[in-house]
């Protein structure tokens, strides 16, 4: 994988804004979210031989690990699922409630002889619009302008995969979509997904996050007191379980279909990483991991090596600390996981060194797209830039 400088498209900011990409940043004092003047070039065969099968395998492993957790109250608690939500989460798993999309994040240099190392799974990922639409528009315009080498492509079936999922999940009932109305990227992602649902023949309704209510019959209802049959929300499933502590009966109704499903509270938890390690200790993709309060196991796995300390429910790098060799975990801290380090590939830019995280989008059991985000920090945070990619 190479980071290459590329020309800026003429009128690129206006082109992005025209398709609804209002949070691209880079104006005035705004931090730059979208990176226009660079791109990552990946080897087509390396993607096909390494990243694509690694993503499919990670999907199988993730489901096996979730199934293992569902067997035990203690394991659910370890994954940060509050006890009041255990029954609802288990029922979601037993019903095989369908998912829409997810993303595996890997440390991978793009080499054809290197197995990607699994950092974590995101069950309700953001940056869907950038991955599916914005970088594809960039690729098409750059290719037409002759700014990319002949024969290049982009690994991006995300839009088509989402359309396929909506058509499959459509059951003739309306869907309600919610997002935090003051968070432009959440509204943008949800608006894009609503448009796909409409194209798939689904009736849609929009609700600001926090406006869903519960009626006397214990059903979710919208602003006009209509019953909500299917509810899609971008916010973390784990947050929902905490927010609805007093209303778990509504989440247990089979008629209340959640997308993403409640069982993703386990899949998205960092608490699943030690389970993956215990189930698949010999797989080169899986990093050693254990619960941070198991001091003996932390010492046995890492010895004098450094490791990453991750809070159970952190998102966008929040709650992740990279500890140097010989570090000890402080007692009494927030429940966390210790995971072996897998340093991200580093690249020099005119602004300094950046670390690149490869995200592989996952739907219906297979990889369907790539998103690459770069950060000056070794931990990819919420302000990491989205950089488009192409295959050569």
Q: What is the percentage of the chain residues whose pLDDT exceeds 90?
A: 78
Please check the confidence at residue 310 and state whether its pLDDT lies above 90. yes
- Give the C-alpha separation, 213 to 26, whole Å: 38
Please state the separation of Cα 13 from the chain's center in Å: 26
Q: Which of 154-168, 205-219, 332-346 has the lowest mean pLDDT?
A: 205-219
Q: Is the peptide bond before 260 cis (omega within 30 degrees of 0)?
A: yes
Q: DSSP letter at 133?
A: I
pLDDT reported for residue 110 = 98
Q: Give 392: exposed, middle or buried? Use CB within 10 Å, 0-12, 13-18, 19+.
A: middle
Distances (CA, A) of 230 to 94, 206, 221, 226: 18, 12, 11, 12
Mean pLDDT of 307-313: 92
Mean pLDDT of 295-303: 89
Q: Which of 27-41, 185-199, 361-375 has the lowest mean pLDDT?
A: 27-41
Q: Which of 194-208, 314-328, 355-369 has the lowest mean pLDDT?
A: 314-328
Overall residue count recorded for the chain in this entry: 392
Contact between 376 and 31 under an 8 Å Cβ cutoff? The reply is: no
Contact between 119 and 357 under an 8 Å Cβ cutoff? The reply is: yes
pLDDT reported for residue 332 = 63
Tokens 């299917």 appear where?
A: 230
Q: What's the whole-number average pLDDT of the chain?
A: 93
User: Residue 25 is encoded by which pair of tokens?
Assistant: 């940043």
99 against 236, higher pLDDT: 99
Q: Which of 30-44, 165-179, 226-240, 263-277 has the lowest mean pLDDT?
A: 226-240
Across 164-187, b (16+ Cβ under 10 Å) vs e yields ebbeebeeeeebbbbbbeebbbbb
pLDDT reported for residue 254 = 60
DSSP 183-233: -HHHHHHHHHHHHHHHHTT--EEEEETT--EE-TTS-EE-TTS-B-SEEEE
pLDDT reported for residue 22 = 92
pLDDT reported for residue 335 = 87
pLDDT reported for residue 250 = 66
Mean pLDDT of 139-155: 96
- Give the C-alpha separation, 200 to 170, whole Å: 8
User: Residue 156 is encoded by which pair of tokens?
Assistant: 């991006």
Contact between 31 and 25 under an 8 Å Cβ cutoff? The reply is: yes
Please check the confidence at residue 281 and state whether its pLDDT lies above 80. yes
- Please count the other Cβ atoms lying within 10 Å of the Cβ belonging to residue 22: 12
- The highest-confidence range among 71-75, 256-260, 298-302, 316-320, by mean pLDDT, is 71-75
Radius of gyration of the chain (CA): 21
Contact between 376 and 354 under an 8 Å Cβ cutoff? The reply is: yes
What's the pLDDT band for 245 if we cut at 50, 70, 90?
A: low
Sequence-distant (≥ 6) Cβ neighbours of residue 4 within 8 angstroms = 38, 39, 40, 41
Q: Give 362: exposed, middle or buried? Use CB within 10 Å, 0-12, 13-18, 19+.
A: buried
- Give the C-alpha separation, 165 to 200, whole Å: 9
What's the pLDDT band for 30 if we cut at 50, 70, 90?
A: confident
Please check the confidence at residue 261 and state whether its pLDDT lies above 70. yes
pLDDT reported for residue 330 = 74
What's the pLDDT band for 288 if we cut at 50, 70, 90?
A: very high
What's the pLDDT band for 238 if we cut at 50, 70, 90?
A: confident
Mean pLDDT of 321-347: 89
Mean pLDDT of 176-181: 92
What's the pLDDT band for 331 if we cut at 50, 70, 90?
A: low
Q: Which of 92-96, 120-124, 293-297, 387-391 has the lowest mean pLDDT?
A: 293-297
Please check the confidence at residue 155 and state whether its pLDDT lies above 80. yes
Please check the confidence at residue 236 and state whether its pLDDT lies above 80. no
Angle (deg, nearest 10), helices 272-279 and 52-69: 100
Query: Sign of torsion, CA 159 165 167 169?
Result: negative
């Amino acid at each position: 994988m190479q980071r290459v400088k590329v020309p800026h498209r003429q009128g690129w900011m206006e082109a992005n804004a025209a398709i609804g990409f209002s949070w691209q940043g880079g104006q005035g004092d705004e931090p730059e979210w979208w990176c226009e003047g660079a791109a990552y070039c990946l080897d087509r065969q390396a993607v096909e031989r390494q990243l694509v099968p690694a993503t499919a395998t990670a999907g199988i492993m993730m489901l096996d690990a979730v199934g293992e957790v569902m067997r035990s109250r203690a394991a659910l608690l370890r994954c940060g699922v509050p006890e009041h939500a255990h029954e609802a989460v288990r029922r979601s798993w037993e019903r095989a409630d369908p998912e829409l999309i997810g993303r595996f994040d890997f440390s991978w240099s793009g080499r054809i002889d290197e197995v990607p190392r699994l950092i974590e799974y995101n069950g309700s990922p953001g940056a869907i619009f950038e991955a599916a639409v914005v970088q594809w528009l960039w690729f098409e315009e750059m290719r037409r302008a002759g700014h990319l080498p002949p024969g290049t492509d982009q690994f991006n079936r995300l839009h088509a995969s989402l359309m396929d999922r909506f058509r499959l999940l459509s059951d003739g009932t309306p869907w309600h979509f919610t997002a935090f109305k003051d968070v432009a990227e959440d509204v943008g992602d949800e608006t894009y997904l609503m448009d796909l649902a409409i194209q798939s023949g689904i009736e849609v309704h929009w609700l600001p996050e926090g406006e869903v209510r519960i009626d006397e019959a214990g059903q979710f209802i919208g602003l006009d007191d209509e019953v909500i049959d299917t509810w899609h929300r971008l916010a973390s499933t784990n947050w929902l379980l905490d927010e609805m502590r007093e209303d778990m009966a509504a989440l247990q109704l089979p008629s209340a279909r959640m997308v993403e499903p409640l069982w993703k509270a386990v899949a998205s938890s960092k608490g699943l990483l030690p389970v993956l390690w215990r189930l698949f200790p010999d797989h080169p993709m899986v990093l050693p991991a254990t619960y941070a309060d198991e001091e003996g196991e932390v010492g046995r796995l890492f010895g004098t090596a450094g490791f990453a300390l991750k809070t159970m429910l952190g998102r966008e790098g929040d709650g992740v600390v990279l500890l140097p060799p010989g570090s000890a975990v402080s007692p009494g801290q927030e429940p966390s996981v210790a995971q072996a380090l897998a340093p991200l590939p580093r690249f020099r830019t005119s602004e300094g060194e950046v670390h690149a995280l490869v995200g592989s989008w996952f739907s219906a059991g297979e990889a369907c797209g790539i998103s690459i985000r770069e950060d000056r920090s070794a931990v990819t945070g919420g302000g990491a830039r989205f950089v488009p990619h192409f295959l050569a």
